Amino acid sequence: MTAQRQREMVIEYEKVQTIRKRARTTLSTCEHCCDETDSISLAEAAELFETGREELLHFIRENNCHYHVNVDARMYLCVRSLLDKMQQLIKVRRLPAKGEKQ
């Protein structure tokens, strides 16, 4: 009798979950969008996304998200630009299921 080799298969999947959070934004003109958009301070955005300011700032700079520094020396992020970039990255990471069209 020969010994059977056992193998292990690991399947990972992401669960889509709706989480509602609120944050106050300010309507301001984004120079890059050339439009009025919602903006949020870096500190408030980091709290909203449950991440550190440094990590969020790194993401913003690495992904060319729009931001500006106000007269009070606080950094404000263009919400439209931030969410658009996040959506693009999610689409890139998502693999279609068997039989699913992209």
Per-residue 3-state assignment (H helix, E strand, C coil) for 11-53: CCCCCCCCCCCCCCCEEEEECCCCEEEEEEEHHHHHHHCCCCH
Q: What's the pLDDT score for residue 19?
A: 74
Q: Please, which residues have CB within 8 angstroms of residue 25's CB and are 6 or more apart in sequence?
A: 38, 39, 40, 79
**Domain segments of the chain: what residues?**
26-92
pTM over 0.75: no
Q: What's the pLDDT score for residue 95?
A: 59
Q: What's the pLDDT score for residue 11?
A: 67
Render each residue's pLDDT in the chain as its tens digit; 102 residues.
Answer: 567 776 676 767 667 777 788 888 889 899 999 999 999 999 999 998 899 999 999 999 999 999 999 888 899 999 999 999 988 887 776 656 666 665
